[in-house]
Amino acid sequence: MPFSDYKTALVTGASSGMGAAVVRRLRQEGLQVHALARSKDSLEALAKETGCIAHVMDVTDIAGLTALTQQVPFDILVNNAGVDRPRPFLKAQEDDIDLLVDVNLRAVLHLCRLVVPGMVSRDRGHVVNISSIAGAYNFGGNSTYHATKAAISMLSRQLRIDAFGKRVRVTEICPGRVATDIFAHVHGDSKETYERFIEGFELPVAEDIADAIAFCIAAPIAVNVGHMEITPTMQVPGGLQTTRPERPQA
């Protein structure tokens, strides 16, 4: 099983939600796991609980990422850190766009730049990129978020071409709604947020995503799971929305 071929992993956005669940899951497999995020207390608690190595760092700190990736030859890279700003694009502010591009896309590109060449030269590695159904489908969200996640989707497929001929696997995990604190982080930690996004819904939880990632990594080395869309059973992407300009719908 390829888990035994891999020794080291880097997980970004490891202080909560899917990232923390992936850290726990990879530690169960006995990997040396480096957990990266900005929240010191959460990361230190996770390190105490799991034995992962905490890196209190912003993913936009390219010098920090460069130093870390020069120190450790990572076999697994999980690009999970992500943010959203709830404002629709027609009301977007300059720093909304910069933040989403910096965290959701630029950091992922730089980490792949820093890590994938080593994987290729060692003929061993697995990159897992967390996109979103926002990168695949159109709906009323924040178009900058959709754009960054669509870029992650394309990058994931493109990396397979860049690593062609080597045993470097790339998996895009494309979640629909998952019951994490992302909604509190994006919309505010309130009863309204909980009622709007979580309460009463039957949703996958972070551990379900971590298990799916573990399945992709545990697959025989000849098997690359390129794309996995994971939504609630009760969530269907798509639809047909038509409006009359003189009677616009909300």
Ligand X SMILES: NC(=O)c1ccc[n+]([C@@H]2O[C@H](COP(=O)([O-])OP(=O)(O)OC[C@H]3O[C@@H](n4cnc5c(N)ncnc54)[C@H](OP(=O)(O)O)[C@@H]3O)[C@@H](O)[C@H]2O)c1
Q: What amino acid positions are annotated as catalytic residues?
A: 145
Tokens of residue 120, six digits: 């290729």
- Contact call for residue 80 and ligand X (CB under 6 A): yes
Alpha-carbon gap, residue 124 to 5, rounded angstroms: 8
Q: Are 175 and 213 in contact (CB under 8 A)?
A: no
- Contact call for residue 177 and ligand X (CB under 6 A): yes
Burial of 167 by CB count in 10 Å (0-12 exposed, 13-18 middle, 19+ buried)?
A: middle
Among 26, 52, 103, 105, interactor with ligand X by CB under 6 A: 103
Q: Mark 113-152 with x for binding to ligand X (rule: CB under 6 A) and - for no binding.
A: -----------------x-x--------------------
- Contact call for residue 69 and ligand X (CB under 6 A): no
Q: Output 29 or 58, the one with its CB closest to ligand X.
A: 58
- Contact call for residue 83 and ligand X (CB under 6 A): yes
DSSP 8-state code for residue 52: P
DSSP 8-state code for residue 168: E
Return the closest-CA partner of residue 37 out of 203, 181, 189, 151.
181
- Contact call for residue 185 and ligand X (CB under 6 A): yes
Alpha-carbon gap, residue 24 to 14, rounded angstroms: 10
- Contact call for residue 227 and ligand X (CB under 6 A): no
Alpha-carbon gap, residue 156 to 226, rounded angstroms: 8
Among 2, 10, 11, 19, interactor with ligand X by CB under 6 A: 19
| Helix or strand (DSSP H, E) at 44 | helix 40-50
Q: Output 58 or 208, the one with its CB closest to ligand X.
A: 58
Q: Output 203 or 217, the one with its CB closest to ligand X.
A: 203
Secondary structure (3-state) at 4? helix
- Contact call for residue 205 and ligand X (CB under 6 A): no
Residues of the shown chain interacting with ligand X in the complex, contacts defined by CB under 6 A = 12-19, 37-39, 58-60, 80-83, 103, 130, 132, 175, 177-178, 180-182, 185
